[in-house]
Structure 1
Amino acid sequence: MSQQDEQAPRVVIRDKRRIDPTSGAARVPAGDQPAGTAPEQGEQMSEHAHEMPADVADQPVDGVVVDDAARQLAERTEDLQRVTAEYANYRRRVERDRVLVVDQAAERFAGQLFPIVDDIERARDHGDLTGAFKVVADRVLGLLDGLGVTSFGAPGDPFDPALHEAVLHDTSPEVTEPTATTVLRPGFRRGDRVLRTAMVGVTDPESPAPAAAPVAGSTADDQPGAGPAAG
């Protein structure tokens, strides 16, 4: 050991507690001890008196703190993602319900206008849609247009059970398929949704469609029911 190391001051820790932590007995202050009496073990000056045990000092305290912080961060991130997904689903449900309520209200209101539109169309057929009555009729029809409601059903349309309500039937050689030849009441729809079917008279073909022509290159013997050729 060099002379400089010998002259360097040493750090001294003094235990001035009046009660011995080990035995629980009262201590006598160092100044009151008789001459020649050695200080108690707890009062001995040592630079190693308060050193931590080796097994405690070697524990990775910083690593434990970092791992716990990372775990808490992952939990908070998972909670935030779950709350965000729940809020997004809630917004979609609210928007879907709002659109559904608006559509239902529009369809109910349009349904109340259909009888008025029927009267307007009858007045138009009789040539009575003139003057102030025509102005009112145009405004009523404009309401349906604003709601996105359109009418359908015209003479000559192919009969569709999903769109037409057949109340009359007849036959004619002039049609090749069931056809709505008479429209007694127009139908209405909003987008792809049918609000009211059209009331029509249906005309069916007078005779069934002719049988398919024989395949080219086939002989009489190949046709069903053909007998043997005469000798």
Structure 2
Amino acid sequence: MQAASVDLRSYSKEWPEERHAFVQIVVPLQGSMDIEVGGLQQRLSTSKAVLITGNIKHSIVTSDNNRSLIVDLDERYVTEATLERFCNRPFIDLTNRSSSIARHMRRSIHDGEHDSCSTRLWAELLVGSFADERADVASRLMTLKALIEIDPFQPWTVERMASEVEISTSRLHAIFLDYFDATPHALLADVRMKKICALLSGSSLPIAEIATRAGFSDQTALTRAMKKSLGTTPAAYRRNAIS
């Protein structure tokens, strides 16, 4: 199998018993379902998910309309300690952080913007959020930075960043300066500019489309920002990158 995949799935009343060699995560987004995993039974809902380790028999019964985020992940990307933990305790009470990651993965499917690399990274972050439910501020901050770097063109407002780390906006500024020597706005601008440069040098997307994806009002606004940040224009950067 590929390293990771993500999909949206609805289950019929009875889903035949199955097992597979990879880790599978089921995060209900609508409705509920009864699932048996390795002889353990539980009802999944929008507040409870399950992580099924490889080669564990499982079956599903549901009686209502349902929709779930299904994440498949090669076991090579999950630590032995995590595999052992969820082999015996597969059911998960979703935290705000886990739910936030799941929502982003759902949006990426809807927008058609997920690829194999970003899907694997998001899947690893999702598993990490399950395994580290009491993560301290430093850990949550590193997770936030990883999320921004994976998809910097998301609407990362200061309020949203603070919510991800579960602290106030004023404290967010302080810890960004402590850990990254930059404000949230400055770090986001830097990560977005790196993504813009990567698209200019590694894709054939029109500059105007890159500007729109990056949140600029038009190509002229991107040109001004890039001139100020890097001392060059998008067109000149692309020419130099491919010459």
**Fold agreement, TM-score > 0.5:** no
TM-score tier by shorter-chain length is under 0.3
Q: Relative contact order, CA 8 A, sep 6+: which one is greater?
A: 2
TM-score (norm 2): 0.17
Structure with the higher helix share, 1 or 2: 2
Of structures 1 and 2, the larger Rg is shown by 1
TM-score (norm 1): 0.17
